[in-house]
Amino acid sequence: MSAELKIVNEEKNETTKEQHVVNYLKSMVAVEKAMEPYKEQKKNLRKNYMENGWLTRQDIWNAVKAFRFYQQDADMDDLNDMFEIVEQQFGEKE
């Protein structure tokens, strides 16, 4: 392959990468825009549970965190070990 052809191919690859970046960002923005009504629905759900006195903000936060750990198949023993390390380094919260 000639040096001139290599340069042309490299320029095409750069352009292709730039196009991929632009396409990715456009897609990401479209997805985020499509998610917006669901974010509002999620916010209203949380507000409804708190206004009815069914759960506190802390209850919801703890439940969501526990669910995220469950989804990630987190090892609770490892998590407790890390918590103890953090607590030893920074002290117990008041």
pTM assigned to the model: 0.63
CA distance 84 to 90: 10
Residues 74, 77, 80, 82, CA torsion sign: negative
Indicate the pLDDT class of residue 4, thresholds 50, 70 and 90.
low
pLDDT at 45: 97
pLDDT greater than 60 at residue 61: yes
In tens, the pLDDT along 71-86 reads: 999 999 999 999 899 9
Phi-psi region of 50 (alpha: psi -120 to 50; beta: other; left: phi over 0): alpha
